[in-house]
Structure 1
Amino acid sequence: MKTSLFKQVCNVVSCLVFLLLIGQKVSAQLKVGDPGVTFDASKYDNRYPQMKEWQKAGVRGGIPFLKDVKIVKTLTNGANSDAINSAINDASKQSGLVAVLLKNGTYTIDKRIKMKSNVSLIGESRDNVKCIIKMNSGDAFSFYKVRKSGIYTLTIQGSWGKPKYDWNYSLDANDELKSNNNISVKFNDSEDCWLDKVNILNSARDPVRVPANHITLRDLNVDGAHKKAGGAQGYFFIQGAYNLITGCKVTHLRHISLQGGNVEYNVVYDNDFRQEVSFHSGDKGNNLIENNKITLPFDMPNSKADTPNAVYNNSNEPNYYAIMGPWSSQHQNSEKPNFIFKNNCLEKNHNNARPWSNPSLLYKGPRQVKPSNPATNFPALSASLTPKGGTLYPMILSKNTGGSNACNSTVTVAGANDAYLQQSAKYNTNELRVEGNERVSYLQFKIPANSASIVNAKLQLTVSTDSGSGRIDVLKGKSNSWTEDNLSTTNKPLQGAKLGTLTTTYTKGETYSWTLTDLQPGETLTLVVKQVNGNDVSFWSKEGVKPPKLELKLSCNSAASKSILSLEEKELTSAIKVYPNPTQNYVTVSNIKAGQELIIYDFSGNVIFKKVANSSAETLDTSGLKPGKYIISIQGKKGIQFIKK
């Protein structure tokens, strides 16, 4: 069982162990929307000055890391809106970025939760903190004229059960809760606020409404709305400017809509939508939709005139496409075009059509209101107008959050060069191909220098347009004197030691991993990817939809002894003693009180052992533990690290 280390391991006010608080592995890899994300100026394309505006989208300065937020109030199972609002008000009187922690349990949202500037809500775990909405009007969680406020790692759920209808069929019955206009979360006239790792389920009207600027919605799971009839119901609704939507899964709503005269320079990046994206009416344009997976399920309405696969085929049934402009003469077209690039669109409701999915082409639109053919409303530009850097949102994510010496962390490294040779011909495209000795791919990675050792490395490749099968080896290239622009049969790296191998069936759209050995920090690494047997395969290159990446798991050596928890040295010392340390078969905890709970965790946040102390000294059996580092949590005290030999 995974659980929070926060408060059980550390003091509530001063603990910096916030990444483990949410039961996840600490990662040194920056994510979209994090502090410290920068942009690669070498990839700017002067034909698209909007790129410099898009990089401003979302919370300015990034969503604060949990380690930088101070918990000042804690609530437990059963608290209601009054208790949560009271805790938020008390927290707002303190300086700096502060938060209210909701322990695992169920919370009744029977009145509006009024967020305050510089105050966040943090759930102990995403799926086990459930905020159940039991109100019929207004906003359940309201960000009104606030700054630097957000919600992390919890579930917001309507109390009305799962909606009867998955989709909008233009039926009056799609308004399932006629007297209920509750919106789950609303940002109104606020800036630099966020939702991060939040589930929003079974909403009444809208799950999220954002008439605000510089909001980041990251890693949301949004599923279901009871009201999907007319009058702006059931929307994932963006109504402002410079907002960032990334890493989200959204489905079973009426629309994901960017709509209104304030909507511009929003970035919708790297999401997994099972819902269309709509420029519904009257946006200003210059919004970016890039690197998303947009899948319209088979049962999503597609009008009676199309393949009859919807639940209802009435004369007014909507016709959904993966990306839409205004579809009614009552709507207004975008003031300026919007940009669609490197998305993977699949319309299962339209015989598995794949519009706007060519990663080498940039699409702009919408061209018109209520087009005769919505599939052509975002036409492709000529290949010569494809962004020169292969992206309109050139983030740099290689920097790690724990510094270059981050211990027990995972770092993801993007490729520096990749291309393949087909006999004597070089191909530097959006694909990498392998086929026996006929086609061999070459990849180059620059591994960050640090004083931690690499204990595990994985090369991850995603199959692009051509499935295949068989054994594929990854070998170490003996030289790095090549680039994707000059690779040839004369300078191609000679093949060295085999680093990894995989034998399987390779399916289009799926990602596969090769576990590699003997990689060193700081080296420039060439990988030779070669098929030994089977049917040929194609993978996305770094210019493709899902670029190759090298995932490195780091562990500190004696020269890099920083703890994963980044606690100050004084926080690891107290009157409580843990000995022997290192240990082998047992460890004794002394200077404690009878009745205090002792918990041993591993460094992934897993609970290994629990015991209630019977005296001032307890001896714990550690003979069954694997060698490694562990934390002993003493109720009401700070955590103490020990090492099992």
Structure 2
Amino acid sequence: MKLYLYKQKKAFIYCLVCLLCFGFKVTAQLKVGDPGVRFNTSKYDSRYPQMKEWQKAGVRGGIPFLKDVKVVKTLTNGANSDAINSAINDASKQSGLVAVLLKNGTYTINKRIVMKSNVSLIGESRGNVKCIIKMNNGDAFSFYKVRKSGIYTLTIEGSWGKPKYNWNYSLDANDELKNNDNISVKFNRSEDCWLDKVTILNSARDPVRVPSNHITLRDLKVDGAHKKAGGAQGYFFIQGAYNLITGCKVTHIRHISLQGGNVEYNVVYDNDFRQEVSFHSGDKGNNLIENNRITLPFDMPNSKADTPNAAYNNSKEPNYYAIMGPWSIQHDNSENPNFVFKNNCLEQNHNNAKPWSNPNLLYKGPKEIKPSNPATNFPALSASLTPKGGTLYPIILSKSTGGSNACNSEVTVSVSEDAYLQQSSRYNTSELRVEGNRRVSYLQFKIPSNAAAITSAKLQLTVSTDNGNGRIDVLKGKSNSWTEDNLSTTNKPLQGSTIGTLTTTYTKGKTYSWTLSNLKPGETVSVLVKQASGNDVSFWSKEGTKPPKLELKLSCNSVASKSILSLNAEEVTSAIKVYPNPTQDYITVSNINVGQELVIYDFSGNVVFKKVASNSDETLDTFGLKSGKYIITIQGKESIQFIKK
């Protein structure tokens, strides 16, 4: 059965067209934590004055774009802590925001890396820059009394291998490294610092500790800690105020903990946690947990599964819930309530319970220490107290500017995935290379669905470090079942029709455009950039100085006759999301309408699941599905492919 029989649906058309008739020009979409993000003041609810404080969370002014950070030092494979610290010290003597670039390779962290104000570390690529910790105490990466400093796109990994135990079972053996108290990254009395696109694996004690204010932790992948016994071990640890945690994936540690008398006005927004979130002891309250996916796996304590090497004992083992307050009389309760809203919680370790997941209710707590029923420690408020704007964090992720042409809009779409294959080897670096059939680059874009039609499309690529010439074609891929982290010869999209071509001389630093055809609103499209003739060329990837972008012109449609005055240009940002993808036990579809039918098909066209949505966010059980590729269709919206592991 051909997958593309499932046509993309033209959703939210009248909303967009109304905007166009007012002359808005939509520019590139921003991410949470970027410079330039704004908040929709029309959604403020005077009953929750904390909203004005939450919008201050994270790096003030946003995490600097890579294009605004100047690389002044470069290190190569094999460098150790002494070389990295020397490069950071040299860089700190220069003015402006500067960085030390770590080229792809392995780096030995045998002494503390001392970060400096206005100096960042940038990895050439997240998966191929590996900083291996080989020290037993102190902080591997230390931000102490610094500002405007951060780490981008690299992996920090403990040298001790994968932890023996996934979870804390209240066993002495959970302290797997008795003489090792190393913390992977610590922000101490610092402000306006960040981690962005950083992977932290197999930590000794804590993967991240933040006794600081205005820190942004964005797009982290945290997995594993060797020390998960008593005494604040194995924490993703927030100990300050006005910090922003967004886009992170965290699992196999002891706690995600907001703890201590300085903890207030932190925002935990749009994360995927397979770990509980704890208000452990004595925070000030007024912290926000919104729009997260929090799943406690089946094997987490109180799963009715045996603990490793010991019989299951309900009276002694920890009992984890998706969101927790103090669970010991030795702990102190929050000074003020914390706010929990629009999260999707799934407790597989408690018979697949889904507490605190009603998108129409606001929850506050914790109300007591060591409650008899932890599932009720963050009670729901009455429906009348639900925030009037539908959110407590009304962030705007698209920038609107004035435009003079009615019924016309230009949209710039950022690339979501990009990498290249050199024969059978994958390269996810700051560059995209093309060379005949030997090197082919792959890019993926998610085209907005709120358009009537695309009247023109241009792919823009900027030459990075290698000039070239000849004909370069852009071809439409036949599948999207790849990411920049797993692209291979087996899952790469097969090439379809040629949708753009350009023959010229390609000069370093210059930007070139390919006029593309056959693109549709709402589709996720993979394109292949392939050289048909001439000398090889390299372009910047999305991790590079000037990322690829897709510039679209969108047309109007006569359907836009509905209430124009009821629309706000800043609010048209809704898009259907399906996550996690790939998935194992469940998949969530968000931003849908109640009453829409959700149908999952296998690749033979058979219906394997069907449900009518009763909430704007629906979680579907995929545990019983076989491993493979599936398509989920959302009535009146679109069709999206996902992978079951």
Instruction: Answer yes or no: same fold by TM over 0.5.
Output: yes
| Amino acid in structure 1 at the alignment position of 2:369 | V
| Amino acid in structure 2 at the alignment position of 1:280 | H
Equivalent residue for 1:459?
Answer: 522
Question: What does 1:372-521 correspond to in 2, within 5 Å?
Answer: 372-399=372-399, 409=414, 445=450, 456-459=519-522, 478-482=558-562, 509-511=587-589
Equivalent residue for 2:145?
Answer: 145
Determine the C-alpha separation between the residues in 2 that align with 1:450 and 1:144: 52
Task: Please tell me whether the aligned partners of residues 454 and 520 of structure 2 are also in contact (alpha carbons under 8 angstroms).
Answer: no
1:202-232 CA-partner distances (Å, limit 9, x unpaired): 0000000000000000000000000000000
- Report the CA distance shift for 1:334/1:148 in structure 2 as closer, same or farther (over 3 A): same
Q: Report the 3-state secondary structure (helix = DSSP H, G, I; strand = E; otherwise coil) of the residue aligned with 2:131.
A: strand
| Amino acid in structure 1 at the alignment position of 2:148 | K
Equivalent residue for 2:248?
Answer: 248
1:468-489 CA-partner distances (Å, limit 9, x unpaired): xxxxxxxx985223369999xx
Q: Considering Cα pairs closer than 8 Å and 6+ residues apart, tell me whether 1 or 2 has the greater RCO.
A: 2
Shift of 1:377: 0.1
Determine the C-alpha separation between the residues in 2 that align with 1:549 and 1:236: 40
| Amino acid in structure 2 at the alignment position of 1:35 | P
- Report the CA distance shift for 1:460/1:239 in structure 2 as closer, same or farther (over 3 A): farther
Equivalent residue for 2:341?
Answer: 341
Q: Report the 3-state secondary structure (helix = DSSP H, G, I; strand = E; otherwise coil) of the residue aligned with 1:82.
A: helix
Question: What does 1:165-244 correspond to in 2, within 5 Å?
Answer: 165-244=165-244
Could you tell me the TM-score, scaled by structure 2's length?
0.63
1:536-582 CA-partner distances (Å, limit 9, x unpaired): 7545887999999999xxxxxxxxxxxxxxxxxxxxxxxxxxxxxxx
Task: Please tell me whether the aligned partners of residues 29 and 400 of structure 1 are also in contact (alpha carbons under 8 angstroms).
Answer: no
Equivalent residue for 1:46?
Answer: 46
The runs of 5 or more residues in structure 1 that have no matched partner are: 1-26, 412-442, 462-475, 488-506, 515-527, 552-645
Task: Please tell me whether the aligned partners of residues 598 and 635 of structure 2 are also in contact (alpha carbons under 8 angstroms).
Answer: no
The runs of 5 or more residues in structure 2 that have no matched partner are: 1-26, 404-408, 417-447, 459-515, 525-555, 568-584, 600-605, 621-633, 639-645
- Report the CA distance shift for 1:89/1:355 in structure 2 as closer, same or farther (over 3 A): same
Question: What does 1:21-100 correspond to in 2, within 5 Å?
Answer: 28-100=28-100
| Amino acid in structure 2 at the alignment position of 1:204 | A
RMSD: 3.8
Determine the C-alpha separation between the residues in 2 that align with 1:50 and 1:287: 9
Determine the C-alpha separation between the residues in 2 that align with 1:111 and 1:156: 14
- Report the CA distance shift for 1:542/1:40 in structure 2 as closer, same or farther (over 3 A): farther
Determine the C-alpha separation between the residues in 2 that align with 1:407 and 1:246: 23
| Amino acid in structure 1 at the alignment position of 2:214 | H
Larger Rg: 1
- Report the CA distance shift for 1:113/1:207 in structure 2 as closer, same or farther (over 3 A): same
| Amino acid in structure 1 at the alignment position of 2:50 | Q
Determine the C-alpha separation between the residues in 2 that align with 1:530 and 1:160: 48
1:44-89 CA-partner distances (Å, limit 9, x unpaired): 1111000000000000000000000000000000000000000000
Determine the C-alpha separation between the residues in 2 that align with 1:335 and 1:450: 56
Percentage identity across paired residues of the two chains: 77
- Report the CA distance shift for 1:388/1:449 in structure 2 as closer, same or farther (over 3 A): farther
Determine the C-alpha separation between the residues in 2 that align with 1:94 and 1:450: 47
| Amino acid in structure 1 at the alignment position of 2:192 | D
Shift of 1:405: 6.1
Determine the C-alpha separation between the residues in 2 that align with 1:366 and 1:376: 9
1:497-527 CA-partner distances (Å, limit 9, x unpaired): xxxxxxxxxx98445999xxxxxxxxxxxxx
Shift of 1:446: 7.0
Determine the C-alpha separation between the residues in 2 that align with 1:161 and 1:444: 44
Q: Report the 3-state secondary structure (helix = DSSP H, G, I; strand = E; otherwise coil) of the residue aligned with 1:459.
A: coil
Determine the C-alpha separation between the residues in 1 that align with 2:635 and 2:327: 38
Determine the C-alpha separation between the residues in 2 that align with 1:237 and 1:120: 22
- Runs of 4+, deviation exceeding 2 Å: 306-312, 403-411, 443-461, 480-487, 507-514, 528-551
Determine the C-alpha separation between the residues in 2 that align with 1:512 and 1:259: 30
Equivalent residue for 1:270?
Answer: 270
Shift of 1:28: 3.2
Shift of 1:408: 6.8
Task: Please tell me whether the aligned partners of residues 542 and 548 of structure 1 are also in contact (alpha carbons under 8 angstroms).
Answer: no
Task: Please tell me whether the aligned partners of residues 155 and 199 of structure 1 are also in contact (alpha carbons under 8 angstroms).
Answer: yes
Could you tell me the TM-score, scaled by structure 1's length?
0.63
| Amino acid in structure 2 at the alignment position of 1:269 | Y
Determine the C-alpha separation between the residues in 1 that align with 2:134 and 2:557: 61
Determine the C-alpha separation between the residues in 1 that align with 2:163 and 2:379: 36
Shift of 1:316: 1.8
